[in-house]
Amino acid sequence: MPKEPFLNKTGNMPGDINLVPVSHWLAALVHPERLDSFRAAYGRDNGLIAERATLARRALTAFHHHFGDLPVRIFRAPGRINLRGMHVDTHGGYLNLMTHQREVLLVAALSDDGRNHLANISATHGEADFVLSAEGGTASSGIPWFDFISRPEVRGRVAARRAVPAQVWANYCIGAALRVGYACPECPPPALKTMAAGDLPAGAALSSSAALSIVALLAYAGYAGIMLTMEQLIRAEQDVEWYAGARVGMSDQAAILMGRPGHLLHLALCAEDFNLDTARYYPFPADLDLLVVNSYTARNLSGAQRVQYSLNRFAYSVALPVLRAEMLRAGWDAAAVCRLDRLSRLTPGALGGPSRVYELLKGIPESLDLNTLRERYAPPGLDKAYARYFDGVPTEEQPVQIPLRGPLLFGIAESERARRFPELLLRGDYEQAGLLLCAGHDGDRVHTREGKPFRVQIDDAALEALSRSTTPVEQCPGRYGASSPALDALVDAALDGGALGASLTGAGIAGAVLALCRTGDTERVSRALRQCLHRPAYARLAGWAEPPSEEEFETAVMVNRAVSGAGELVPH
């Protein structure tokens, strides 16, 4: 990220005009549909505007009770979903992203005592306060961000908060303040008093942590008078999550920041050559609905689950060089192989068609231990990448056997599914689009409908059969295995109810399922999903100690509403 972001040249704080007392804001929210910023963020659906205004009132009222009637600014960030392009964002695969109407808000005011005070309307999140200089201040400027967050004293402070469930969320806000200071050490952010509020269910694969990181970044950058480009914000949010202990890519923040009402965002992201040049927007068809289904199973990208989450992402980082090495052995032109450095370029067309893809994959071992991988292929940066993905994982829990063929086949096929998906929607081929959702989920699936273990066959015989039948690559699931029995059950329930297609969304393991259906089938599919959630068999799969409340069941299945990307709300 550049160290010289664009600063407001007038010397005034950007958004000074938006600094108004809480009481002024509450008066303005009597008629939220009249506010330009609400219509810009949520469209002209007064019902949706009223729903969003309810959350804003709760946040403002809590702030008033906690801190008083101070001049404040309000920052918002919606959730996100990924229709197709699962698990490929860290290695340049195609993505199909949309915003989700539930969101995180941050009400922020200047602090008068030099300390940052963090509060949250959720009873499960405790309060926290910090002084920026005591957290590292701007000392990180001049050294790579990863080197700074790897310092023992920094990791110790982060780990101490992670050890207390009510304090985990504070790491994202502290990381945001540090990251803004790192971006511009000559004008560090001032201390703030903040109240966070959100109705994005935590751990539901709708990117609640990314949304929290983004509103904190916007608040600290806004009060510091720093204006960051879209590319800088995306990179900065990734850095915040890495500070907090989650090894994420860049798709979540891209969706949250770049979203448009009623549109799907199609792009490919590559960390080594990061730009937004591939971004395209497609209108989501009016005769389709996308259901977002909360499985009420939690995923936390830290601790034991982080190992499974990181393993296949790390496998990509070494499988791609392994593939290129095998291509060179097979006589491919070196210059052509060099260009195939990311999943969005490893299309079936670039590789010579489906049969050629399957033949190439036969040369890739299904898995290798680290030592053999190092000796046989010497992938560049192997040990550094391993340390980055599994930093902080106890030595005895770090994986030794690395899957290669399954994740690589999944990645090539999934990126191709994502490449084709928006065009299928655009031309009205909804059945084929639904089949791509199902094929992608089969690459993640762990259980059959009968509850038996499920694994796609990827041995040589299976690849030869695919080659003989010239099966299109996008129809081949590959093997990633990031689903769960509960997610598989919801996907099957959606399909039984008449959905065109269904799939997990996000990193998997737990969280949410998406179901694509015609608007006329929405109620029938929703009913099938709710029936599944209420079954005792599902409760066992989900591992509930206690079932969700009736209110939670009521909001378990929602029609997605794509809203504007993250930004600031103003009271006029």
Residue 139, pLDDT score: 59
pLDDT digits (tens, 9 = 90+) for 182-206: 988 888 899 999 999 999 988 788 9
Residue 203, pLDDT score: 79
Instruction: Provide the token pair at 473.
Output: 């690559």
Q: Indicate the average pLDDT of the chain.
A: 92
Residue 568 CA to its chain's centroid (Å): 21
Q: Which of 267, 291, 300 is nearest to 526 (CA)?
A: 291
Q: What is the DSSP letter of 459?
A: S
pLDDT digits (tens, 9 = 90+) for 49-61: 999 999 999 999 9
Bridge-based pairing state of the strands 280-283 and 263-268: antiparallel
Residue pointed to by tokens 């990645």: 411
Residues 214, 238: contact at Cβ < 8 Å?
no
Residue 3, pLDDT score: 35
pLDDT digits (tens, 9 = 90+) for 204-253: 889 999 999 999 999 999 999 999 999 999 999 999 999 998 878 899 99
Give the pLDDT band (50/70/90) at residue 303.
Answer: low
Q: How far apart are CA 267 and CA 277, in angstroms?
A: 8
Say if residue 309's pLDDT is above 80: no
pLDDT digits (tens, 9 = 90+) for 484-525: 999 999 999 999 999 999 999 988 889 999 999 999 999 999
Residue 113, pLDDT score: 96
Phi, psi (rounded to 5 degrees) for 405: -65, -45
Phi, psi (rounded to 5 degrees) for 346: -90, 55
CA-based radius of gyration for the chain: 24
Residue 312 or 126, more confident? 126
Residue 6, pLDDT score: 32
Domain map of the chain by residue range? 6-76+106-247, 304-534
* Residue 19: half-sphere exposure toward Cβ, Cα within 13 Å: 13
Residue 301, pLDDT score: 53
pLDDT digits (tens, 9 = 90+) for 530-545: 999 999 999 999 999 8
Residue pointed to by tokens 């659906």: 45
Architecture of the domain spanning 304-534: 2-Layer Sandwich (3.30)
Q: In the chain, what percentage of residues exceed pLDDT 70?
A: 95
pLDDT digits (tens, 9 = 90+) for 421-432: 999 999 999 999
Give the helix/strand (H/E) hosting 357. Answer: helix 354-362
User: Helix, strand, or coil here: 133?
Assistant: helix
Mean pLDDT of 306-315: 80
pLDDT digits (tens, 9 = 90+) for 60-94: 999 999 999 999 999 999 999 999 999 998 889 99
Strand partners, 6: 227
Q: How far apart are CA 408 and CA 343, in angstroms?
A: 9
* CATH class for the domain made up of 6-76+106-247: alpha beta
Residue 47, pLDDT score: 96
Q: In the chain, what percentage of residues exceed pLDDT 90?
A: 81
Q: How far apart are CA 434 and CA 428, in angstroms?
A: 11
Say if residue 9's pLDDT is above 80: no
Q: What is the DSSP letter of 11?
A: S
CA torsion sign for 423, 237, 166, 129 is negative
Residue 204, pLDDT score: 83
